[in-house]
Structure 1
Amino acid sequence: MTQDATGNSTGNETRTRNILLAIALVVGLGIALVPLGLSVLGGDPPEPETPPAASGTSGASATGEEIPDATTTPDPVGTSYTVGEGQRIDCPTPDGDAAGLSADAELADVTLPCLTDGGTPSTMSVAELTAGRPTLINVWAWWCGPCRQELPVLQEVAEKHPEWNIVGVHVNERGQAGVDLLSELDVRFASFQDSSGDLVAAANLPAVVPLSLIMRPDGTRAELHPGELTSVDEVEELMTSSMGAP
Structure 2
Amino acid sequence: MSSTATALRRAGLGTALAASIVLTAAGVASAHVTVHPDSYPKGATDGALTFRVPDESDTASTTKVQLFLPAGHPLLGVLVSPHDGWTAKVTDTRLRRPVRTDDGTITDAVSEITWTGGRIGPGRYEDFDVAFGQLPDDIARLPFKTLQTYSDGKVVRWIEQAAPGDADPENPAPVLKLTSGAGTSGAARDSTARALGAAGLVVGVLGAAAGAFAVVRSRRTR
- TM category (shorter chain) comes to under 0.3
Higher relative contact order (Cα pairs below 8 Å, separated by 6+ residues) = 2
Q: More strand per residue: 1 or 2?
A: 2
Give the TM-score, by structure 1 length: 0.24
